[in-house]
Structure 1
Amino acid sequence: MLHPRYFLSFLLLMAVHMAGAQTVARITVNTGAYARYNTPVSFALGKVNVNSLKGLVLYQLNNGSRQAVPVRVETGPAAITWQLAGEVKPGVTLQYELVKGKEETTLPDNERVTVEDDHRTLTVLAGNHPVLRYQYTVMEPPPGVDTAFRRSGFIHPAWTPGGKVLTNIQPKDHYHHYGIWNPWTDTEFEGETVDFWNLKKRSGTVRFSRFNSKTGGFNALQEHVVFKKNGTEKVAMNEEWDVDVYPYDGKTFMWDFTSRLQCATASPITLNQYRYGGGFAIRGNAEWNNENSAVLTSEGKTRKNADSTHARWLKIAGNLKDGLAGLLILSAPANFRAPQPVRVWPEKDQHGQVFGMFSPTKDYSWTLQPGKTYTQSYRVITFDKDLTAEQAEAYWNDFAHPPKVTGRLVK
């Protein structure tokens, strides 16, 4: 989501041969070895000038009939993205035709992904349902608490489709915990040890810098700032947060979280082996404890034994005052040290409060070199009705082994 995205929708069962209609591409999707459920897929349009195309309509072809499919058009590089409708069995081949119509249609309000900016936070909604909120201005700590704990660049709240809050910020036991966030703890930069996580040390912090996009989610640049011993500041790493929210399927929210790290100077930075740091971290709702919540990993581990194990996915769920709520976090197989180690607070830690994360450097140091980009990708599913381990595994297979998309442009 490096560039603006324009959301288009198309009237179902439109007449195929519109006056002036022009076929742009023919596309095939093969589901492969896994069942698919509302799976996101994309097709590159190459050098096509998307901005000059009005009224793009994607049709799914089915036994001689055509049904228009909601899509979105991306620029730089040009591509279209859509979701397979409902559940599709393994080994199925789907045919599509991309047509340039006479007029552009509009997406119904209850299907659109929109963004609301109140000049302090960015809230992403799927239809009328808030999915997550990104805090891009500085959040001050509670009155009387050390101002070292102030920071920006985190997600809170993250919601379930039923409106239940999954995250917690600035808890009294850890004022530096901020909903969903991913700073690094033990690092080395230009001869100094820097902690971007434990803010009270005053050796570093993370700050929002700017938005690159605020459509369909957001793309934000964050800076990992070093507080030098001589009193100056220096940005050691630039991090791009790419958060892409998908339309509401009536049961779950789905969104992708991608972190891209780059050295901000000619100096490398080493992310030392440490039990916390980077990846994807969540501090759970304060109502959760060791009696009303549970953690499960892809390897069958729980809060009793998950910590320091490796996992492809991590599920956190529990009862809140208004019912069950949870989220499933999928870690991409291309991530550093995948399947990545996890940090999960055991049941007796912190009075049973919930904390879970993928920590890529939990058992291995990682040196980032100037001029290179280091990408970590995760998919998040939030829900109000608990997911089974089999369902979680199916979601991961769908994410890790996407359908095969082929096609050709029609000149």
Structure 2
Amino acid sequence: MKFVTIFCLLICAPSLLFADEVTAKREGKQMVIRSGEKEILRYQAEPGDLPRPEISQKFIRGGYIQSIHTPAGKLVTDDFPADHLHHHGVWSPWTKTEFEGRHPDFWNMGDGTGSVEFVALNDVWQKDGKAGFTARHQFIDLSATPPKVVLLETWEVGVSTTGETHVIDFTSTQSCATPSPLKLPEYHYGGFGFRGNAAWNGPANCEFLSASGLTDRVKLNTSRERWCWVGGKVDGETCGVTILCHPANFRFPQPVRANPDQPFFCFAPQQLGEMEIVPGEKYVARYRLVVADGKPDAKAAETWWQEYAKVR
């Protein structure tokens, strides 16, 4: 019976037997997730050194995904891009806010009114062919005297691979750190953000495909989508990331921000009007990133989303 079982696995699903182990390991100030020797993801925990000497110290930060690679090793993210130094691979600060009568901006760090700080790694795990970690952050109102913690945030990140795709599950849970709510007025970006490879800079170099079939970023901007592929060519080959929005998310399907010039994408529920994160209630945002080489496949993306929608 064991021989028959192993034979069936060899014929029907050889990748299950020979897939490289997915590992998570702390390396200095970063958490690195690999499939065998191939790097998938780097999370910046404590702030690292700025990549260029001309960048102001105001932009130093941790608590974000610094890089993501495809199965073929193509880099699909950017970090500290020259045109938007506050952009990173994957990060999740709020932009236009109101807190106790002040207006800290946790996104545009160069303004010096708000920041998001790494606090701790609570858990690093490997199980059932997956690996991941749990990290804690805090949102700081720098416009207060002294600075004041506004939100407490927990990230849960889990990574798996099929060999043809890398799958990154992302959950952000935010709660108030004080008896005061954080008000989020209507605004066109803020929240879960993705910044693509520098090779995709410029209107002609970054491509999109959404669940509603939109490929024009002007038409895509502000549309409500359950998933969207963002990509372009890296070293002459097309690759990209399909970002899936979980149906349990607030105001699903959430409206999106697609920058007209840069390879930037954001799910922004506050586009639909003011919202609040209030004491005693948790704001939970869940997304799945499917990272792959090659051109986008709408049918495959819809199948990925249908599968993700069943995850509770």
TM-score (norm 1): 0.69
In 1, Cα distance between the equivalents of 2:298 and 2:144?
49
Q: Is 1:228–2:147 an aligned residue pair?
A: no
The one-letter amino acid of 1:336's match is F
Deviation at residue 366 of structure 1 after TM alignment = 1.4
Higher strand share: 1
Matches within 5 A, 1:121-140: 121-140=30-49
2:291 maps to which of 376, 382, 393 = 382
For residue 14 of structure 1, report the CA deviation from its aligned partner. 4.5
3-state SS of 1:225 partner? strand
> Structure 2 stretches of 5 or more lacking a match?
126-130
Where does the alignment leave 5 or more consecutive residues of structure 1 unmatched? Answer: 1-12, 16-64, 71-84, 87-106, 404-411
Which residue, 124, 127, 133 being the options, matches 1:214? 124
Match of 1:182 among 88, 92, 99: 92
Distance 1:266 1:162 in 2: 48
Deviation at 1:268, TM superposition (A): 1.3
CA positional deviation for 1:252: 0.6
Instruction: Find the structure with the greater CA-based Rg.
Output: 1
Q: Deviations over 1:181-219 (max 9, x none)?
A: 110001111221110001111111001100111112111
Map 1:120-159 onto structure 2 (within 5 A): 120-141=29-50, 142-159=52-69
Note if 1:341 corresponds to 2:255.
Answer: yes
Given that 1:242 and 1:258 are in contact with CA atoms closer than 8 Å, whether structure 2 keeps it comes out as yes
Residue aligning to 1:59: none
**Mapping 1:326-405, distance limit 5 Å:** 326-346=240-260, 349=261, 353-402=262-311
SS at match of 1:339: coil
Q: Tell me the equivalent position of 1:283.
A: 195
1:300 equivalent to 2:209? Answer no
Task: Give the count of matched residue pairs.
Answer: 300
Deviation at 1:111, TM superposition (A): 3.6
Separation in 2, partners of 1:238, 1:392: 33
- Give me the whole-angstrom Cα distance separating, in 2, the residues matched to 1:386 and 1:130: 21
1:377 Cα shift?
0.5
Secondary structure of the 2:271 match is coil
More helix by share: 2
In structure 2, which of residues 164, 167, 171 is the aligned counterpart of residue 251 of structure 1?
Answer: 164
Quote how far apart the aligned CAs of 1:140 are: 4.1
Post-superposition Cα deviations, 1:339-371, rounded to whole Å, max 9, x if no partner, equal 00000012xx3xxx3111111212222111112
Q: Does 1:271 align with 2:184?
A: yes
In 1, the alpha carbon distance for the partners of 2:144 and 2:297 equals 50
Alignment deviations for residues 118-160 of structure 1 (CA, whole Å, 9 cap, x no partner): 1211101123321110001213442122211111111121110
Distance 1:331 1:250 in 2: 23
TM-score by length of 2: 0.89
Counterparts of 1:363 and 1:229, CA distance in 2: 28
Deviates more, 1:363-372 or 1:256-265: 363-372
Residue identity in the other structure for 2:206? S
Is the 1:113–1:217 contact (alpha carbons within 8 Å) kept by the matching residues of 2? no
Contact 2:59 2:86 in 1 (8 A): yes
Q: Which amino acid aligns with 1:198?
A: N
The answer to whether the 8 Å contact 2:209/2:296 transfers is no
Following the alignment from structure 1 to structure 2, what is the Cα–Cα distance between the partners of residues 397 and 316? 19
Q: Which amino acid aligns with 1:221?
A: R
3-state SS of 1:375 partner: strand
Identity %: 37
